[in-house]
Structure 1
Amino acid sequence: MSYHLLALLLLPLLGSGLLFAIKGKAGKQLAFGVSLIQMLITFCILYGFNSGPTVDSVLQHEINYPWSQFLKSSLHFGIDGMSMLMLLLTNILVPLIVYSSFNEKVPYRNSFYALILLMQFGLVGVFTALDGLLFYIFWEITLIPIWFIAGLWGQENKRFEFTTKFFVYTFVGSLFMLAAFIYVYNYSASFAVTDMYNANLNLTQQTVVFWFIFFAFAVKLPVFPFHTWQPDTYTYSPTQGSMLLSGIMLKMAVYGILRYLLPVTPDAIAGVSGSIVIMLAIIGVLHGALIALIQNDAKRILAYSSFSHVGLMVAGIFASAMLVMNGTFTIEGGEGAMVQSFAHGINIVALFYCADILYKRFKSRDIREMGGLARVAPRFAVLFMIVLLGSVGLPLTNGFIGEFILLKSVFDYNILAAIIAGITIILAAAYLFRFYGKAMFNTGKEEVLASVNDLTHVEFAVMASLAGLVILFGVFPQPVIELVSSSLKFIYQSMVS
């Protein structure tokens, strides 16, 4: 049994329970302390992690305890390269998300931080579960705290209207996934992920299972046309809720596609289904970028930007999957998606925090009412520019290598699709630089700018940390690529074995 992984699973759950139980003002310090310990444990696991090609099973730090002989399901957890990267993303970002709220007056603060830790517990479970039923349970666990965070601490009077729409979308999608998992279970030995890979399903059965599971993931990402819940939910959630949703939670679906959808339904992907998904993803890439270009609400710009970026990840994954099924073995699409998931998580969390900083200065999210901030807040202007360049995908920033690999994988599949996806990179630069230019260099109101200060200590610590990660993984992307390569080879080989 891996005690490191057991600690990762139990510590946020215990911390959450303690925060719900106690009273007083020490809630944020306790939550921050628990999340820091989680980060340190993750680094300890990473230090001893073997990501090289000599790892035969690619799984490490396994926990496997049969908990239901009737259902043939186990408490089976483990870490491979993909899990390791997602654990890093989760447990690096959560402390920063918690710390970002330290200057704010959060009502019912202990409950707020307890829900964040409960969310962290669910995320760790999703990224390490090796049993289909267990994966579904943790998938649902993450939905409950984020719904309360978005609904109770949201910034608008109609926040529950939009968060309920998000809850219904994702809950219904989850039920489709559960139905598909149960169906696959009936044709396999158990809910164990390796048994689900070996389920004896014909093409028709795989196609039905594919669309049931894909619907759940498409809603969570989201993929066009299942994205209508996203802009409002991202916009009206509190900043920390938007960070959790965009930075980590949507990565569950990218991970789920690779872990479950590809190996369970390879024949369906090789047919019409895979082509349809790529088409939907490319439409989403262009659709999101064009809408972001005309938005004036800072958070809505970022919501549509995230929607556009996710579409490219999905297109890359399925482009490689279809090439594999057609006899050309490649992991580039999955590789690019995992690297870009990590980069996007860092970048979008930083950008939503920038939007929050701007809102606090100008009391508005409308970029037309901003301006002149570069003159009075130079530290913020520099750090904002660094994370913006990472999101644009400038070379030597973390967003470049993943985007490049994804475009190459789409190009290898279809040149026209790659051209359309490439155009959106230009559009991304246009809407993000428009956002930056309006906030930093537009003519601002002098009476407002006179009372505006540069970053506080908390804001500077969070922004500097995120900007440092943008540069670090832009200059040294190879360790991230090497971390996931063995796992992805196993996943794509499972499709044709």
Structure 2
Amino acid sequence: MSYLLLTLLLLPLIGSVLVFAWKNPASKYLALGIAFAQMLLTFYMLTGFDFKPTVDGVLQYEINYPWSNYIKSNLHFGIDGMSMLMLLLTNILTPLIILSSFNEKPGYRNTFYGLILLMQFGLIGVFTSLDGLLFYIFWEVTLIPIWLIAGIWGQEDKKIQFTTRFFVYTFVGSLFMLIGLIYVYNHSASFALTDLYNADLTSGAQTVIFWFIFFAFAVKLPIFPFHSWQPDTYTYSPTQGSMLLSGIMLKMAVYGLLRWLLPITPEPILGLSGQIVLVLAIIGVVHGALIAIIQNDSKRLIAYSSLSHVGLMTAGIMASAILTVKGTLMIEGGEGALIQSFAHGINVVGLFYCADILYKRFKTRDIRQMGGLARVAPKFAVLFMVILLGSIALPLTNGFVGEFILIKSIFDYSIIAAVIAGTTMIFSSVYLFRFYAKAMFGEGDEEVLASAADLTGVEFSVLASLVVFVIFLGIFPQPILDMVNSSLKFIFTSMMN
């Protein structure tokens, strides 16, 4: 069955080459067809996926071929529950992101869609790589297309400045990660994931490696204070770039924390390093939410909202990791972070698309200059509200289960930390309801509203698809928890040894 994973990996790469070469407006349909085929293939692989909970870290659809005996690295790919969840997120959102651009007329459109497919290739590589060097290579592959998408098709005159800062931040972080992985490799048998887990590292070396690798993930998430690139990049990227960055790309870091960082360097988690990361994450939760409350730019508001949510994911992971290294197996933080990663991906893509729809109607991102759209766009008002409710973690929506588990995992570590982190549910209600009220209710400019229309077919298709996941995952979250249970037990158990 390894051929299925090979197909999943190579199809977007081959597709991107074809789309790059086809300089025709119809290239968008080819890109959408390839992305849709990826989604169907992922669902087919899901039907053959074994959900049976184990603690042995068994991989499925595995590919393992020698690549370089000199550096002891293999072309090693495989899927477990964590990988499958991230593949589902990537391959569900990519066709919707491509479809969301169909009302646009981007210049060099074949290049635009080719870059999206190239990024999809890199993301799939990141989520399935089981070799440290391979993981780093795919991590870097994802950086180039999103940098070009943001820099070429971004908005405002300063887009190059902002996207260059994003590139420098993430590239430097990646270099630190590479240095860390090479050091671990020099103290292990090969770059294979299991060998890196079993590397012979002193406590001091683990602490240094922890911070080298964590820096790359902290920038990508981002968490406070490594977030200064994020608001501007999210704001001035094209809508599809913002969707890719927030909906999928930052999940690489959540995945990396669990798959690569914590099992390789468990000892620093118990010391000051673990405490610092937990504190920074909780600061990010509050900092992002408070700044989002005072934002009037719709995209910047969503950017700071994302900062707050990923802070909660990181805090939940670290709380469970600290308790596990102390001797009590706790996987709840990992469960909450993964299900919330999936939910956040759906919700934040929906919010950015809603912001784009509002921009098209009002010709501004300033929410103070909006108002009254619910009167002329009732379908949009309903779908926007459902996505918003998922983002504020209303019970029976997709955001509730993950946030509840995360806060519970932090509570098991510290009641005070849980109370502070839990303010995100209150603050998110404030800034998101303010956003909705400003845009959808009130008087509004009658001249603008007279020319405003409800959702087009493309807009309705994208938002309705996202709403299905908001509701379905809110009612039936157990399949995701079952999916990731085996992987997390293996990872957290390895931290105890």
Name the residue aligned to 1:37. 37
Answer yes or no: is the 8 Å Cα contact 1:331–1:492 preserved in 2: yes
Answer yes or no: is the 8 Å Cα contact 1:81–1:483 preserved in 2: yes
Distance in 1, Cα, partners of 2:133 & 2:268: 22
Q: Please list the CA deviations of residues 66-103 of structure 1 after superposition, one character each: whole Å capped at 9, or x if unmatched.
A: 11000000000000000000000000000000000111
Name the residue aligned to 1:410. 410
Answer yes or no: is the 8 Å Cα contact 1:316–1:334 preserved in 2: yes
Name the residue aligned to 2:331. 331
How far 1:18 moved relative to its partner? 0.9
Distance in 2, Cα, partners of 1:444 & 1:403: 35
**Length-normalised TM-score, structure 1:** 0.99
How far 1:157 moved relative to its partner? 1.2
Distance in 2, Cα, partners of 1:227 & 1:46: 35
Answer yes or no: is the 8 Å Cα contact 2:53–2:482 preserved in 1: no
How far 1:55 moved relative to its partner? 7.3
2:268 is aligned with 1:268: yes
Cα 1:160–1:339 change in 2 (3 A) is same
Distance in 2, Cα, partners of 1:106 & 1:448: 25
Q: Please list the CA deviations of residues 117-167 of structure 1 after superposition, one character each: whole Å capped at 9, or x if unmatched.
A: 000000000000000000000000000000000000001111010000000
How far 1:24 moved relative to its partner? 1.4
Answer yes or no: is the 8 Å Cα contact 1:51–1:58 preserved in 2: no
Name the residue aligned to 2:103. 103
2:155 is aligned with 1:155: yes
SS at match of 1:482: helix
Name the residue aligned to 1:346. 346
Name the residue aligned to 1:50. 50
Name the residue aligned to 1:142. 142
Name the residue aligned to 1:389. 389
Alignment of 1:137-286 (within 5 A): 137-286=137-286
SS at match of 2:76: strand
Distance in 1, Cα, partners of 2:199 & 2:181: 11
Name the residue aligned to 1:431. 431
SS at match of 1:78: strand
Distance in 2, Cα, partners of 1:33 & 1:387: 26
Which AA in structure 2 matches 1:229? W
Alignment of 1:24-103 (within 5 A): 24-54=24-54, 56-103=56-103
Distance in 1, Cα, partners of 2:443 & 2:142: 43
How far 1:25 moved relative to its partner? 1.7
How far 1:54 moved relative to its partner? 4.6
Name the residue aligned to 2:320. 320
Tell me how many residue pairs correspond in the alignment: 497
Distance in 2, Cα, partners of 1:85 & 1:54: 17
**Length-normalised TM-score, structure 2:** 0.99
How far 1:22 moved relative to its partner? 1.7
Distance in 2, Cα, partners of 1:270 & 1:483: 28
Name the residue aligned to 1:464. 464
Q: Which runs of 5+ in 1 are unaligned?
A: none
How far 1:19 moved relative to its partner? 1.1
Identity of aligned residues (%): 74
Answer yes or no: is the 8 Å Cα contact 1:383–1:464 preserved in 2: yes
Q: Please list the CA deviations of residues 207-239 of structure 1 after superposition, one character each: whole Å capped at 9, or x if unmatched.
A: 000000000000000010000000000000000
Answer yes or no: is the 8 Å Cα contact 1:376–1:449 preserved in 2: yes
Q: Which runs of 5+ in 2 are unaligned?
A: none
Answer yes or no: is the 8 Å Cα contact 2:55–2:490 preserved in 1: no
Moved over 6 A (4+): none
SS at match of 1:67: strand
How far 1:442 moved relative to its partner? 2.4
